[in-house]
């Protein structure tokens, strides 16, 4: 299939930079897309980051320690920014003002003022496509929930629960890194790191929290640094947010949790929607399985489990009998970004990546959550982006 090539620069060549690079190399797995990324430039301040790319990506012509050099290159059409949160505002604004399409990592600004700074650039440059990285809604089970909500087949919503859970921080000897320091990760702590993943679909559905009562925990307040000295670990480990949603004609409770210390959990993303006529639940813990319950007044209540296999927004070579996993979700998210870049409103897939406005919902919520925890009060949530 003839394909339009979009020449990409990666700013931040760490964990997530490599995930995107690998997704671009898996592009032949996608069957119907007439657009593909090509990685032509890589930027990182750490010289050690380049060797992995040099060995695997001959298409990269520019390696630089200065992201401004990458943004100045006419060879670069679009950028993926996967850098520490304290750098988001400056680098994202510079990328947008340089006219580069941007997929920016969450939380999309270290705090609300940083987010608002990015939004001023977004609004000033409507010709640039700006989206936020959030891959879990591309899992087949999550997509089935999207379809059910959009078709309005739930009845009255009773309650929504969503979360993203990790556990490796249970180890008090795990060394500190930038994600566990407030100056680089942000005051939001685990909410900034994990929370956009949880807020993305509720925001897409228009389920906007009206207020929040937050419980935040700092369970491990010190960690060893690279030299083994104990230093402050001043970010929130866990957050439980009890919110009240007002959506169109109904209001309901929505419980959101983001936890770095949830014993036994490894990258568990889940969404549960309980309705009077239909309830649905999906967790990446059972990545191919959707659970649902259909109810008619007086009828029996039985949860059913449906194994969906490799059902994806964009068809791939992978057979439907196989299961779907994290790298597939990343590939599908990138397919959606490239699809929207090439086709705009006429995009083939129909499910766009998270928008900057949806990230705004998370910023308003997390800002209110900090105040709620500080004051032990229910705090109204601002309007968001």
Minimum CB separation of residue 306 from ligand NAD in Å reads 26
Q: At what angle do helices 112-124 and 88-97 cross, to 10 degrees?
A: 0
Q: Closest Cα partner for 12 from 111, 128, 99, 106?
A: 106
100 binds ligand NAD (CB under 6 A): no
Residues 258-277 contacting ligand NAD, CB under 6 A: none
Task: Tell me how far apart the alpha carbons of residues 10 and 67 are, in angstroms, rounded to a whole number.
Answer: 9
Task: Tell me how far apart the alpha carbons of residues 161 and 154 are, in angstroms, rounded to a whole number.
Answer: 15
11 vs 242, which CB is nearer to ligand NAD? Answer: 11
DSSP element (H, E) containing 358: helix 356-375
Minimum CB separation of residue 91 from ligand NAD in Å reads 7
Mark the segment that binds ligand NAD (CB under 6 A) among 44-52, 110-118, 139-147, 357-365: 44-52
Minimum CB separation of residue 112 from ligand NAD in Å reads 16
43 binds ligand NAD (CB under 6 A): yes
361 binds ligand NAD (CB under 6 A): no
**What is each CA distance from 344 to 30, 32, 130, 254, 338, in whole angstroms?**
19, 16, 12, 32, 10
111 binds ligand NAD (CB under 6 A): no
Give the binding-site size for ligand NAD (rule: CB under 6 A). Answer: 22
96 binds ligand NAD (CB under 6 A): no
Task: Tell me how far apart the alpha carbons of residues 349 and 286 are, in angstroms, rounded to a whole number.
Answer: 24
Residue choice 24, 133, 279, 332 for contact with ligand NAD (CB under 6 A): 133
Contacts of 381 (CB under 8 A, 6+ apart): 208, 209, 210, 211, 212, 243, 364, 365, 368
Residues 167-186 contacting ligand NAD, CB under 6 A: none
Mark the segment that binds ligand NAD (CB under 6 A) among 8-16, 165-173, 202-210, 316-324: 8-16
Question: In terms of C-beta density within 10 A (0-12 exposed, 13-18 middle, 19 or more buried), how is residue 123 classed?
Answer: exposed
Pair of tokens at residue 41: 């430039």
13 binds ligand NAD (CB under 6 A): yes
107 preceded by a cis bond (ω within 30 of 0): yes
Residue choice 77, 111, 169, 193 for contact with ligand NAD (CB under 6 A): 193
Q: Closest Cα partner for 215 from 233, 191, 198?
A: 191
Minimum CB separation of residue 66 from ligand NAD in Å reads 8
Mark the segment that binds ligand NAD (CB under 6 A) among 80-88, 92-100, 148-156, 363-371: 80-88
Taking a C-beta distance cutoff of 8 angstroms, is the pair 254, 207 a contact? yes
Residue choice 4, 5, 32, 45 for contact with ligand NAD (CB under 6 A): 45
Residue choice 10, 44, 190, 363 for contact with ligand NAD (CB under 6 A): 44
Contacts of 7 (CB under 8 A, 6+ apart): 37, 38, 40, 75, 76, 77, 78
226 vs 304, which CB is nearer to ligand NAD? Answer: 226
Mark the segment that binds ligand NAD (CB under 6 A) among 38-46, 52-60, 233-241, 268-276: 38-46
Task: Tell me how far apart the alpha carbons of residues 59 and 38 are, in angstroms, rounded to a whole number.
Answer: 7
98 vs 154, which CB is nearer to ligand NAD? Answer: 98
Question: CB-hemisphere CA count at 13 Å for 282?
Answer: 22
194 vs 379, which CB is nearer to ligand NAD? Answer: 194
Taking a C-beta distance cutoff of 8 angstroms, is the pair 43, 70 a contact? yes
Residue choice 41, 71, 82, 308 for contact with ligand NAD (CB under 6 A): 82
Taking a C-beta distance cutoff of 8 angstroms, is the pair 288, 273 a contact? no
Minimum CB separation of residue 83 from ligand NAD in Å reads 4
Task: Tell me how far apart the alpha carbons of residues 138 and 327 are, in angstroms, rounded to a whole number.
Answer: 11
34 vs 69, which CB is nearer to ligand NAD? Answer: 69
Count other Cβ atoms within 10 Å, centred on residue 119.
Answer: 21
85 binds ligand NAD (CB under 6 A): yes
Residue choice 6, 10, 11, 114 for contact with ligand NAD (CB under 6 A): 11
12 binds ligand NAD (CB under 6 A): yes
Residues that bind ligand NAD (CB under 6 A): 11-16, 43-46, 49, 67, 82-85, 87, 105-106, 133, 135, 193
């Amino acid at each position: 299939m003839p394909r339009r090539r979009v020449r990409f620069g990666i700013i931040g060549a760490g964990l997530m930079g490599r995930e995107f690079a690998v997704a671009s190399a898996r592009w032949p797995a996608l069957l119907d897309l007439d657009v593909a990324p090509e990685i032509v430039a890589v930027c990182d301040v750490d010289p050690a980051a380049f060797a992995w790319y040099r060995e695997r990506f001959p298409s990269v012509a520019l390696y630089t320690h200065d992201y401004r050099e990458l943004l100045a290159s006419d060879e670069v059409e679009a950028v993926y920014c996967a850098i520490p949160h304290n750098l988001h505002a400056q680098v994202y604004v510079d990328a947008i003002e340089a006219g580069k399409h941007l997929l920016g990592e969450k939380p999309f600004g270290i705090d609300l003022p940083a987010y608002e700074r990015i939004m001023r650039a977004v609004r000033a440059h409507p010709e640039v496509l700006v989206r936020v990285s959030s891959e879990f809604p591309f899992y087949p089970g999550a997509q089935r929930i999207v379809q059910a909500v959009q078709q309005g087949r739930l009845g009255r919503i009773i309650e929504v629960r969503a979360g993203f859970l990790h556990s490796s921080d249970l180890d008090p000897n795990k060394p500190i890194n930038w994600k566990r320091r407030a100056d680089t990760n942000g005051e939001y702590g685990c909410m900034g790191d994990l929370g956009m993943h949880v807020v993305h679909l509720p925001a897409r559905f228009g389920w906007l929290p009206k207020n929040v009562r937050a419980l935040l925990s700092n369970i491990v307040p010190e960690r060893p640094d690279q030299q083994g000295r104990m230093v402050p670990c001043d970010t929130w480990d866990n957050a439980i947010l009890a919110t009240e949603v007002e959506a169109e004609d109904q209001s309901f409770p929505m419980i959101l949790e983001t936890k770095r210390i949830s014993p036994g959990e490894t990258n568990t993303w889940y969404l549960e929607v309980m309705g009077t006529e239909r309830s649905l639940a999906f967790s990446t813990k059972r990545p191919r399985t959707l659970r649902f319950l259909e109810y008619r007044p007086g009828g029996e209540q039985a949860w059913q489990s449906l194994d969906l296999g490799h059902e994806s927004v964009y068809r791939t070579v992978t057979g439907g009998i196989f299961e779907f996993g994290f790298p597939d979700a990343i590939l599908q998210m990138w397919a959606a970004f490239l699809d929207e870049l090439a086709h705009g409103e006429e995009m083939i897939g129909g499910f766009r990546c998270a928008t900057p406005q949806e990230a705004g919902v998370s910023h308003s919520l997390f800002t209110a959550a900090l105040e709620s925890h500080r004051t032990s009060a229910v705090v109204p949530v601002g309007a968001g982006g």
